[in-house]
Chain A
């Protein structure tokens, strides 16, 4: 208790060579504090001076600081917010991360005592503790090492223990803590480690002792942040590091020369648009050139737009770390027209670009230009990935402690409020997916039921209902852990609803008026594309399926087959034929497989064009968690093709059709995003996954021309 170190004696010179007990110290501090009100600031300033020492590492200073803090803890009732403002601000600026454990403990004790002593200091104390969620900037990097992690554990365990201590003394403090924590969340533009650490703390609060009160706000706040990050990601930003472009134009006898020459063999890295003053030999066949050049003009123009947007350093190739790398595209040319074309381009694009030798046109998809590897710091996609991974780990820990059910309820409410209505949320919904995967019987079923009820209840606005049924269809198709029986029961409810709708609406095809109905039909067909086989395998469910009155729905005047996405319809009918579902109407159904204009406009400028929320997750880390529970289209397709009953259409498929389906697979199973950049392939291929909207690409698509050379889908290594 009472022994004081030598340093004390030196400082308190007026009492030389005396030993101080705690009580005496407290009296001294008390006197110093009360003296301020009378105008005598000498001792008080001395005290404040001790608190300002940050870089002090010698044991004397440490002991001094510790003693000062302890003495202050004993005199909190004398601390006045007006007179002792400098003291309070000095304490506020102290960060636990800068000190050793003894000072940490003393500081925490002071904070807790202050919080309990006076209502004015509660918010102040809570804010101070929340400030300690993340280390100061100069310590951020040290976190990757062993010592850094140890320090982090020491600090955070004390911070959270302090919250609990305050909650014991001031029961209403947790209520005040929630808004403080949520308000101080780092913005999405902050550095990745900072956001991650803060969210880690929030999750710790959620599962901690005061989690009952605080937890209800933590998870929804995290989901909100995830959505914010999600919508910031353009589709262009998501390419797996080693996946190649889906389509590469292959030049016959072409020599591919990497334009920028910095060895980016994987063709994922990019360089600025560069054109050389010295035209090189074109090795392509002459008859392709003109068409190519037209194509290339478009590409380059578009690239220039993008480059402008990213403020490429003119005249210089940007350094790698700037990260503003645009699609590498260079044009091979050796003709006069090529040269003039290039000059024209330069003038048009208003960029002073360097010309360099050896180009080739790689019409890589636009998806590459925000390569994660090369952008400075963490890109938004990586941040989102790490955050989602953190949430997954938290859900796992909730499950092992048996709390998953309550946490899932909170998550589900947050989903209904935020994710469901977010326009094309890309990955955040996988948090719910994973929670369902961890507990299929309870959470998995609950999720499906809630979505079905949302669709069936006509209280909800149409957009919500359409969104709900899209989620339902995608979820039931992709979740391996959902039982076939559940799928069958939900199908039954949907079919009954659709039939009811048909019977009560005796009108012709009208996209706008019956959009909920059409989305329901599309959901039905999509689900059956994935689940037909598993349903047919179980005899009871097969009977149920065969008895479902789907024919009258599909043949109704409202004509859902024409309005719904052609890819889905084709695949559905093919499988139905193989399963011998609608025997009488097969010929009719197939004849109608024209690409209808209406299908393109389904949803149209409005939201729900083609929305399959649980398409393969493109975030690497998160995907590895999801993979064991996720049903891939290619797997289902293969299984279907190998099976005797359903192989009729599969084996009869022409090469074209096979190529078509293959491309579908590529799009779904590839980690790459669907392509747009001017490749004029069947837009249907986009339909099985999410179609991005990018104004540049749209603009570009308008000026496209047919690809002259052979196009072959590349076999991406990630397809299985």
Chain B
């Protein structure tokens, strides 16, 4: 899954003087307040932090009515920053005729509207369950609880809401994609080979017969391809 990265950041945490007795606890609390919020400076949602070292430099006291003091830190941060066209994985929580609702990493909600779901998938009600089933691949089914891979259209930073899309070919149910990725690529290769071979034979045949119709040959190739795919799935 894309979109996750680990960054090292040099931060300064400003603490209220009342916390000077137990500064480390206060620092942890301050860092915890960053969690699950999008930070412009860090360009991502902070998911976890790990303090590398409290630099042993002294903390600078700010002048002012309340003399906060700034503790310099070096922190490792796990950041989540989805960008458009990235591929993300999440669990489907709700399906409707209009949209698929997904939860990514347990905290971020994503929605894929019907406009962004490719033609291949059709909304059906099977065995009293709502599913999106693929027209071309029978076993490729998306229902509640399925882990799917989708691409990002946009990301709402305030509410951490993702607008996703199932348009690209390599999106869909992860389980099915993993299982059939090799087969697909293999099928594609063979089909291409056969295609080129088929072309030659039919051309030869037709040449002998005297009829060469480009449409026929194309149709034949398509049919043979389909047959092969059906056999294998």
Contact = CB atoms under 8 A, between A and B. Distances in A.
B36 A172 contact: yes
Contact of A169 (B94, B113, B159): B94
Interface in A54-90: 74-77
Question: A interface, by DSSP: helix, strand, loop or mixed?
Answer: helix
Nearest to B109: A170
A135 B116 CA distance: 41
* Nearest 9 A/B pairs, CB to CB: A119-B159, A119-B161, A119-B156, A170-B109, A77-B113, A171-B107, A169-B101, A116-B101, A74-B98
Interface residues of A, number: 21
B86 interface: no
Contacts of B188: none
Nearest to B102: A169
Interface string A670-688: 0000000000000000000
Nearest to A115: B109
Given A119-B161, A172-B107, A75 B93 contact: no
Contacts of A459: 21
Contact of A171 (B98, B99, B109, B115): B109
A23 B125 CA distance: 14
B158 A116 contact: no
Given A74-B97, A116-B109, 20 more contacts: A74-B98, A76-B99, A77-B99, A77-B115, A113-B96, A116-B111, A118-B161, A119-B159, A119-B160, A119-B161, A120-B159, A122-B159, A169-B94, A170-B109, A170-B161, A171-B108, A171-B109, A172-B36, A172-B109, A176-B159
A354 interface: no
A120 B111 CA distance: 13
B106 interface: yes
A122 B161 CA distance: 10
A75 B98 contact: yes
A168 interface: yes
A117 interface: yes
B103 interface: yes
Contacts of B108: 171-172
B94 A116 contact: yes
Interface centre among A26, A122, A171 (most CB of B within 10 A): A171
Interface in B77-136: 93-94, 96-99, 101, 103, 106-109, 111, 113-115
A119 B101 contact: no
Contact of B160 (A74, A76, A117, A172): A172
Interface in A163-200: 168-172, 175-176
Nearest to A116: B101
Contacts of B103: 169, 171
Interface of B: 21, 36, 93-94, 96-99, 101, 103, 106-109, 111, 113-115, 156, 158-161
Contacts of B109: 116, 169-172
Contact of B93 (A76, A169, A172, A176): A169
A122 to B, nearest CB: 6
A140 to B, nearest CB: 34
Contacts of A171: 103, 106-109
Contacts of B106: 171
B159 A74 contact: no
B74 to A, nearest CB: 29
Contacts of B101: 116, 169
B158 A119 contact: yes
Nearest to A30: B98
A23 B109 CA distance: 26
Interface of A: 23, 26, 74-77, 113, 116-120, 122, 168-172, 175-176, 459
B130 to A, nearest CB: 13
Contacts of A117: 99, 111, 113
Nearest to B107: A171
Contacts of A75: 98
A172 B159 contact: yes
A119 B93 CA distance: 17
Contacts of A119: 156, 158-161
A26 B113 CA distance: 14
B110 to A, nearest CB: 10
A23 B106 CA distance: 32
A669 B115 CA distance: 73
Nearest to B163: A118
Contacts of B161: 118-119, 122, 170
B47 to A, nearest CB: 13
A172 B97 CA distance: 24
Given A171-B106, A171-B108, A171-B109, A76 B98 contact: yes
B20 to A, nearest CB: 12
A364 B96 CA distance: 71
Nearest to A75: B98
Nearest to B156: A119
Interface centre among B21, B97, B106 (most CB of A within 10 A): B97
B91 to A, nearest CB: 11
21 contacts: A23-B97, A74-B98, A77-B98, A77-B115, A116-B94, A116-B101, A116-B109, A118-B111, A119-B159, A119-B160, A120-B156, A120-B159, A122-B159, A169-B93, A169-B103, A169-B109, A170-B159, A171-B107, A172-B159, A172-B160, A459-B21
B103 to A, nearest CB: 6
A23 B123 CA distance: 12
Contacts of A175: 36
Interface centre among A122, A170, A459 (most CB of B within 10 A): A170
A291 to B, nearest CB: 58
Contacts of B107: 171-172
Contacts of A120: 156, 159
A117 B158 CA distance: 15
A171 B110 CA distance: 10
Contacts of B96: 74, 113
A404 to B, nearest CB: 27
A597 B21 CA distance: 40
Contacts of B113: 77, 117
Contacts of A169: 93-94, 101, 103, 109
Contacts of B160: 119, 172
A17 B69 CA distance: 76
A196 B126 CA distance: 47
A583 B101 CA distance: 81
Nearest to A22: B97
A175 B107 CA distance: 11
A532 to B, nearest CB: 39
A75 B97 CA distance: 10
A23 B36 CA distance: 38
A617 to B, nearest CB: 34
Nearest to A117: B111
A515 B93 CA distance: 62
